[in-house]
Amino acid sequence: MAIEIEKKYRLTPKQRREIERRMREMSLVSGKLEHEENTIYRGGSLDQPGRALRLRRVNGRAILTFKQRRPGQSPIKHQEEHEVSVADADVIDSILNRLNFRPGLIYEKRRRRWNVGKAAVVIDELPFGLFMEIEAPVREIKRVERMIGAANLPAVMETYPGLTRVLGKEKKGVIEARFVTQARKSRKAAGRKRTAAKHR
């Protein structure tokens, strides 16, 4: 069992540029851009507060993760994490559905990663905003905050699923936060045309 220790911050585009500039000055290079689709399941014991089962599809890979948050008021959160790579996300989704777990939330994310000292720093773009996370032991989080100019940034206590629940849109019983792609724009425009034609 791993214990994940991390702190999350909301960023403005200007703050993002400044933090990325500082990391470049430290000769740090990010990993490639990751495109994620995250599905959070509900049902059974997953409906208890602080628990989450997530199936993540990212750049052709799939990862199944169970998290259980430890109680606390600190902006640096601690949670148990069990994670495994899976060969076929659709098969795992089918198994979970057979076990009466159902998708409750789906959110998309674009992520870049940096290694800063002993910390993992990620900058995330979601449909509802920009965020940064620093994952490391508490002392290292504070050290890295100072290094990259994040010490005075306000912490975000909410999780991405929690923010999706508030800021996403419900579709067939599932709350979703997705980027608007050109294909989705075209489908919406076609739908509006069909609706307008019916009312002529």
CATH number of the domain at 20, please: 2.40.320.10
> What's residue 1's pLDDT?
65
> How many Å is the Cα radius of gyration of the chain?
19
> What's residue 193's pLDDT?
60
* Contacts by 62-69, CB closer than 8 A, 24 or more apart: 62/86, 62/87, 62/88, 62/89, 62/92, 64/92, 67/4
- The mean pLDDT of 163-168, rounded to a whole number, is 96
pLDDT digits (tens, 9 = 90+) for 1-34: 688 999 999 999 999 999 999 999 999 999 999 9
Q: How many residues does the chain have?
A: 200
Question: Is residue 175 in a domain?
Answer: yes
pLDDT digits (tens, 9 = 90+) for 126-141: 999 999 999 999 999 9
> What's residue 198's pLDDT?
57
> What's residue 2's pLDDT?
83
Question: Is residue 47 in a domain?
Answer: yes
> What's residue 19's pLDDT?
97
> What's residue 139's pLDDT?
95
Question: Is residue 92 in a domain?
Answer: yes
pLDDT digits (tens, 9 = 90+) for 68-119: 988 888 889 899 999 999 999 999 999 999 999 999 999 999 999 999 999 9
pLDDT digits (tens, 9 = 90+) for 32-46: 999 999 999 999 999
User: Looking at the whole model, is its pTM more than 0.75?
Assistant: yes
Alpha-carbon torsion, ordered 160, 165, 169, 170, to 10 deg: 130
Quote the number of domains for the chain: 1
Question: Is residue 199 in a domain?
Answer: no
> What's residue 71's pLDDT?
84
Q: Which residues contact residue 50 at a Cβ distance below 8 angstroms, ignoring those fewer than 6 apart?
A: 68, 69, 71, 79
Question: Is residue 67 in a domain?
Answer: yes
Q: Is 60 left (phi over 0), alpha (psi -120 to 50) or beta?
A: left
Q: Which residues of 16-25 are buried (b: 16+ CB within 10 A; e: fewer)?
A: beebbeebee
3-state secondary structure labels for all residues of 59-74: CCEEEEEEEEECCCCC
Question: Is residue 200 in a domain?
Answer: no
> What's residue 134's pLDDT?
98
Question: Is residue 54 in a domain?
Answer: yes
Q: In the chain, what percentage of residues exceed pLDDT 90?
A: 80
**Residue 161 tokens, joined:** 């699923």
> What's residue 49's pLDDT?
87
Domain residues for the domain of 125 are 2-194
Question: Is residue 187 in a domain?
Answer: yes
CB 123, CB 16: distance < 8 Å: yes
* C-alpha to C-alpha distance for 125 and 32, rounded to whole angstroms: 14
